[in-house]
């Protein structure tokens, strides 16, 4: 039967969202199906406005795969927020659910594809529990979603970090400096771990492995003694010194966002190293939203497209409340509920951690 399906992109953007949208449209418009596709604008908020949607066609999605961002727009705030800062749950109001159902009914939407990270998929689960047929697609540069080996967006962010480290190496060497780069990832260290390894960082500081400033200072000092005048330290925004809490930066509107640990590491290292009159210059670079911008890598274009196609297949199978999931090189599906139960973080026995240690990278803990 010919269907009309809805799709939206929610939460922080990441490269590969447009690839998913194109994948959804191409699979839905396949001659065997020829379904209608309605795209809702600005994340879930598009479900509340009378004119916040557009028809997605083969024509208006042609060529979008190669571009970052999302042609639908997105937001990580508004009426549908279902997880706040520290991961606390919040309930979507009955009024919002009723308005959403009314719009979906008016547009004859048979199913809704929600493309988002941990918070946005928690919203998807809530909508599903209220009777809205949702299919989830996992996205985030942080790669912190359970039940999928990888989210699209992660590879592009890591490529950005790698490029940044390549650039920092040349200036660090020229000036014989210690360069500290702070990267995103919220409470998970995946971006720092992968970007740090690919970019040749000397030390990687991640939330999962609390670090000692003294040990980090010893490590950098030793590098100097061994004939390495410059060093690169990559620090995840959620990394913490042993016994301390994550660091937040106040933002506009009284909001607090993770950030500032890079400067703290620089200050503390300076106290320890330069107190011994080594006079090593230390500089901090916060990579910020550059990691979310730009065009998707080859891998993210392919993963995004495969996710979009699989999401449409799940609608055809009537597998609502499920999320597409990447496992062992295949795109499979899992209940959304299992993906949002807890964050996927780096475990101490992760092989990537072992590999880093094996090539002499310090995590500031030993």
Contacting residues toward ligand F6P, per CB under 6 A: 12, 76, 117, 140-142, 184-186, 237, 257-258, 292
Separation of first and last alpha carbons in the chain: 62
Give least dist CB 114 to ligand F6P, A.
Answer: 16
- The tokens describing 153, both together, are 């967006």
Nearer to ligand F6P, 121 or 220 (CB): 121
Task: Please state the closest distance from residue 82 (CB atom) to ligand F6P, in A.
Answer: 15
Closest residue to ligand F6P, Cβ-based?
184
3-class DSSP assignment, residue 158: helix
Orientation of helix 213-225 relative to helix 261-274, angle to 10°: 60
Number of C-alpha atoms within 13 angstroms, CB side, residue 274? 12
Distance, in Å, from the CA atom of 223 to the CA atom of 211, rounded to the nearest integer, reads 18
- Nearest distance from C-beta of residue 84 to ligand F6P, angstroms: 13
Nearer to ligand F6P, 182 or 202 (CB): 182
Residue 317 makes CB contacts below 8 A (sequence gap 6+) with: none
Measured from the CB atom, the residue of 56 and 258 that comes closer to ligand F6P is 258
Is the CB of residue 72 less than 8 Å from the CB of residue 9?
yes
The answer to whether the CB of 24 falls within 8 A of the CB of 305 is no
Given the residues 42, 142, 144, 333, select the one marked as catalytic. 142
**Angstrom distance (rounded) from CA 33 to CA 324:** 20
Asked if 178 contacts 231 with a C-beta cutoff of 8 angstroms, the reply is yes
Q: What is the dihedral of CA 316, 319, 321, 324, to 10 degrees?
A: -80
- Nearer to ligand F6P by C-beta: 117 or 321? 117
Annotated catalytic residue 142: yes
Helix runs in the chain, H state only: 17-28, 94-106, 118-129, 154-175, 190-198, 213-225, 261-274, 298-317, 336-339, 351-358
Which residue number, 116 or 133, has a Cβ lying nearer to ligand F6P? Answer: 116
CB of 14 to ligand F6P, least distance (A): 7
- Specify the residue for token string 């210059």: 281
Minimal distance, residue 259 CB to ligand F6P, in Å: 8
Name residues whose C-beta falls within 8 Å of residue 2's C-beta, 6 or more positions apart in sequence: 33, 34, 35, 36
Q: Which is nearer to ligand F6P, 23 or 119 (CB)?
A: 119
Cβ 1 to ligand F6P, closest distance in Å?
Answer: 37
Q: How far is the CB of 60 from ligand F6P (least distance, A)?
A: 26
46 or 238: CB nearest ligand F6P = 238
Q: What is the dihedral angle through the alpha carbons of 345, 201, 265, 188, rounded to the nearest 10 degrees?
A: -10
Catalytic residues: 142
């Amino acid at each position: 039967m010919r269907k009309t399906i809805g799709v939206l992109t929610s939460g922080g953007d990441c490269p590969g969202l447009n690839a998913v949208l194109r994948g959804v449209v191409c699979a839905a418009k396949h001659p065997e199906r020829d379904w209608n596709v309605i795209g809702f604008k600005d994340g879930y908020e598009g479900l509340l406005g009378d004119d916040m949607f557009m028809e997605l066609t083969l024509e208006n999605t042609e060529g979008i795969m190669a571009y970052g961002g999302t042609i639908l727009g997105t937001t990580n705030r508004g009426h549908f927020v279902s997880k706040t800062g520290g991961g606390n749950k919040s309930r979507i109001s009955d009024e919002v659910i009723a308005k959403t159902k009314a719009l979906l009914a008016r547009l004859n939407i048979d199913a809704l594809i929600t493309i988002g990270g941990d918070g946005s998929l928690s919203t998807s689960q809530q909508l599903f529990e209220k009777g809205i047929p949702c299919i989830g697609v996992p996205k985030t540069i942080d790669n912190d979603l359970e039940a999928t080996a990888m989210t699209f967006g992660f590879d592009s962010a890591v490529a950005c970090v790698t490029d940044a480290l390549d650039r920092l190496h040349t200036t660090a060497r020229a000036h014989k400096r210690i360069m500290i780069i702070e990267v995103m990832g919220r409470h998970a260290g995946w971006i720092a771990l992968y970007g740090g390894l690919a970019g040749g960082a000397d030390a990687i500081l991640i939330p999962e492995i609390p670090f000692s400033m003294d040990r980090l200072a010893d490590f950098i000092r030793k590098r100097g003694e061994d004939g390495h005048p410059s060093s690169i330290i990559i620090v995840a925004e959620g990394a913490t010194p042993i016994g301390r809490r994550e660091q937040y930066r106040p933002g506009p509107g009284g909001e607090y966002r993770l950030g500032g640990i890079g400067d703290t590491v620089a200050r503390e290292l300076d106290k320890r190293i330069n107190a011994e009159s080594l006079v090593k210059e230390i500089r901090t670079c916060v990579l910020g939203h550059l990691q979310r911008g730009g065009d998707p890598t080859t891998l993210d274009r392919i993963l995004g497209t495969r996710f979009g196609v699989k999401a449409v297949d799940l609608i055809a199978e009537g597998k609502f409340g499920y999320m597409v999931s990447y496992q062992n090189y295949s795109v499979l599906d899992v209940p959304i509920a299992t993906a949002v139960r807890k964050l996927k973080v780096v475990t101490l026995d992760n092989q990537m951690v072992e590999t880093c240690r094996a090539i002499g990278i310090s995590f500031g803990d030993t």
